Structures are given as C-alpha cells and as structure tokens.
Amino acid sequence: MEGTLVNTSNRYTHEREHADLNDIGDVQIAQGLPPYTEMTRRGHGWQVVTTSAAASLVVRPDTVALITLWNGEGTNGKSYIVDRIFAHMLASDNTAGRFQLWACVHPQGMTKPTADIARAATNLTGMSGLYYSGMAVVDVDATVVDNGWYPVSSSVSYEPTGTLPGAGIVANIEGRLIIPPQGGISVQVVSSDADESTPVVGLSWYEEKINLVL
C-alpha cells in the first residue's frame, strides 16, 4: 500500500507501510483505543436526562413524548448521531411490571420545540465533562407529530416496591438513528402500569457534519 509522509529532522520522506493479510486476503488491523474515544476526545459527544419522573404509557406512543431532542443546526450543519437511549424507573407501585423504550425520529423541517433543559444544566453535559454549547434544544413532555414510533429495546421488569428506585434500561443505538439538521427525536416509555410507573429518560449523541441523504 502507499507510504505515508514521515517528518525526519524537519524533512519529509516516504516510509512504505505494509498491510498484514491473512490466508484468504483479509486485511488484519488492531484497534488501539476503545470505540467512540476519538469522537469524545474531540468534544463531539453529549448526553441529557430528565430529572423529574413522569408517567409512562400503556399504549403505543403517538403525540406525547417524555423527552424530545431537536437539532438546531442550519440546513447543511451537523447531524446528531444517536449513541444510546436510556431510562430508569424512579418509582413504581406495589405490583411488579415491565417497561420498554420507544423512539420516533422527526424529519428535517420539524418545528423548534420549547427549551426545557438549559445548556448550562448539569443534566445536559459532554461525555468528557464539558457543558453543552451547541445548537440542540431539549423539550420535556412535549406534544409532537407522530412520524412513526418504534421500540428500541427489549422489555425490563421493574421493582414492585412503591418507594425504592427500580430497574434501568439502556438501548445501544450506536448510530442506527440519525437526527438531521432541523429534525428531532422523541423518546417514550411504554409500561404495563402507566400511572404507577414513573421513569426518568435520556439519550446520548455525537454531533458531526456528514453527507446525510434526505
């Protein structure tokens, strides 16, 4: 394969590198750092979570979302690449139950929602400890357009205590959902007992300018 430029005493020379191949011709490589390290190092990774528990649903979601993330970038700006979606059952009644995460991706052209979580809030921060300074808007308990809801996790049983926090759930999306500029994503929890199972929800994402087909 082609060589790379190497700086030797302020002079650039070509150093030929050879790829290691296995016996069927596959290129063998080794990953030096864990996945997502580079995006986080560059300050492109963010996460948000609600702080007050809210009632879940017992039906398929439609126009009510526990949390909505809107991409406020310009038309040709950064896309939001969803990394994880998560929820934690803060309280439940005295019967066992189950809950599941659902998500709805809203296309480009979505109306800007209300900013319920401030950029300087401690529940909207970077994955490397930064405070958020981007263009995202986070709305809580928003009324949204039903652009198509889908389950993104398996169901999990929660604690039948009524007072202690119950189970948590994480859906590793890892880029399967992408929020275009001027688009959004909403998250809802569907459970077997809506009024008596109250979760907090959130998600994490990476912001990157990509050639997104719209």
pLDDT of residue 1: 44
pLDDT of residue 86: 98
pLDDT of residue 144: 98
pLDDT of residue 4: 52
Q: What is the pLDDT of residues 28-75, one digit of tens each?
A: 777 788 888 888 899 899 999 999 989 999 999 999 999 999 999 999
pLDDT of residue 22: 80
Please provide residue 184's backbone torsions phi and psi, each rounded to the nearest 5 degrees. Answer: -160, 180
CA distance 17 to 19: 7
pLDDT of residue 12: 47
Residue 194, classified by CB atoms within 10 Å of its CB into exposed (0-12), middle (13-18) or buried (19+), is middle
pLDDT of residue 28: 77
Q: What is the pLDDT of residues 86-140, one digit of tens each?
A: 999 887 776 778 899 999 999 999 999 999 999 878 999 999 999 999 999 999 9
Q: What is the pLDDT of residues 176-204, one digit of tens each?
A: 999 999 999 999 999 987 667 889 999 99
- For residue 185, give the amino acid letter: I
pLDDT of residue 33: 87
pLDDT of residue 158: 78
pLDDT > 70: what percent of the chain? 87
pLDDT of residue 16: 56
Asked if residues 1 and 18 have their Cβ atoms less than 8 Å apart, the reply is: yes
In this prediction, residues 160-173 reach a mean pLDDT of: 81
